[in-house]
Structure 1
Amino acid sequence: MCGRFTLTTEDVAVLARAWGAEVDDAVRAAWRPRFNVAPGDAHLVLRAADGGRRLARASFGLAGAGGKLLLNARIETAAGTPSFREAWRLRRGAVPADGFFEWDGPGAARRPTWFHRPDRGPLLLAALWGGSPGGGIGFAILTTEADAIVRPVHDRMPVIVPSGRLDAWLAGAPGALPCPDVPALVATRVSQRVNSVANDDAACLAPAPPDAQRTLL
């Protein structure tokens, strides 16, 4: 699954321009770099709007039956799953991020790994959007089978949207994703500080001690 991620850019408007998207002044003014986005947190989702694209405020998690928070949807089955099939047809989006976390190891000693581009540049994670439990817009991140980089830590990973497939994905084109032309990722062991959702600062991405780095792969 994908339950935590980062977007550490200082100016979200720069990303909006790169993706040809509009962004409200209120969203820009409220933005701060994020080092540990967790379920229920406020974030952003990129959507098709008025013939273009817009970055909108959203929260991580869709409202599910019985008040359940839906964080992830499997891309292999989302089109036919009651919780996601309407959003699959009508409400596709992409979540701006520059990395995501997965864990291995036992219990309280879980060891986090941050997966990101070698240049730490931005990514777009495929998502479905709709209502959130607290009202407003929420999103769930689509996942697929892990690639060779992520697989030693977890068997699933987010679906990454290449820039050349963004319009097709947002428009609901069949077979738009997943696809092979996605950015290559690298794996970095980081501080166990990120294990707590209470921590959301640059120290979350501090390198893990050398012994933890050696046991990654």
Structure 2
Amino acid sequence: MCGRFALYSPTPKVSEALRLPLEEAGEIAPRYNVAPGTWITVLRHPGDDAPLVMDEAWWGYRPHWAREKAPEPINATVEKVATSNYFRGAFAHHRCLVPADGWYEWLPVDGRKQPHFLCREDREPLWLAGIWSERPDGRPGCAILTEPARGVASEIHDRMPLVLDETSLEPWLDPHLTDRETIRGAVHHLAAGRLTHWPVSTRVNRTGNEGADLIEPVPS
């Protein structure tokens, strides 16, 4: 799953790494402990013919047509996102990217859970595949897609966020690309060999804790 991540790269670095025309780009405040149920930075087309923008979405997906007590998941699995009644409309028409510098996962060790930070070996930003929908309040809410863990990520957990490679960003964001199989043929995950991880402080367990020290390696 993906339940916590970090985004501390400044807006110019994220925009440069994207390599796509960006109409608007809100300023990114460094966050080392991004938790569900908060506003997070996303890249999306607000409408079919609207330019690409970097703005905020609520990390919790509940479309405006859902019942008041409908679930508000933070993740959607790649196995079901295109076919589930709850997600398939967003998968077809409202895909987004969640930029991140890395994410956290917890490894059971001797009856405790040791947090690890997972990121690219070259420390460049990651692009997490997401879907969004307009919430009842009219603002966007999103979920991050997850897939079976690959490579070193499988050492920590059995699932991981769907991290896209650079060639997949434009087709993933294209609102006119709606066919399930066409999308799957055009979109590829980042090679597992480009990821790395290390153990970090249990301070990350508390969502109120912040700071660059949260991603510093600690003895395992």
1:72 aligns to 2:75 (yes or no): yes
* Unaligned residue ranges in structure 2 (runs of 5+): none
CA distance in 2, matches of 1:52, 1:183: 33
Over aligned residue pairs, what C-alpha RMSD do you find?
Answer: 2.3
CA distance in 2, matches of 1:41, 1:148: 30
Range moving further from structure 2, 42-51 or 114-123: 42-51
**1:117 partner letter:** R
| Aligned residues with identical type, % of pairs | 35
Tell me the residue number matched to 2:128.
125
> Structure 2 length normalisation: TM-score?
0.84
1:13-34 C-alpha deviation (Å, 9 max, x unpaired): 431244232324xx32xx3101
1:100 aligns to 2:99 (yes or no): no
Tell me the residue number matched to 1:187.
197
Tell me the residue number matched to 1:215.
none
1:148-186 C-alpha deviation (Å, 9 max, x unpaired): 201121111111111211111122342133446567100
Tell me the residue number matched to 1:12.
11
Number of residue pairs matched by the alignment: 205
Range moving further from structure 2, 168-177 or 99-108: 99-108
Tell me the residue number matched to 2:36.
39
Pair 58,180 (structure 1): closer, same or farther in 2 beyond 3 Å:
closer
Pair 68,155 (structure 1): closer, same or farther in 2 beyond 3 Å:
same
1:105-149 C-alpha deviation (Å, 9 max, x unpaired): 279932101100112210110000113476511110001110120
CA distance in 1, matches of 2:127, 2:57: 15
1:58 aligns to 2:57 (yes or no): yes
CA distance in 2, matches of 1:178, 1:76: 15
Contact kept in structure 1, 2:8 and 2:32, CA below 8 Å: yes
1:92 deviation in Å? 0.5
**2:204 partner letter:** V
**2:103 partner letter:** F
3-state SS of paired residue (1:167): helix
Tell me the residue number matched to 1:207.
217
* Unaligned residue ranges in structure 1 (runs of 5+): 213-217
Counterparts of 1:73-88 in structure 2, within 5 Å, are 73-88=76-91
Contact kept in structure 2, 1:13 and 1:23, CA below 8 Å: no
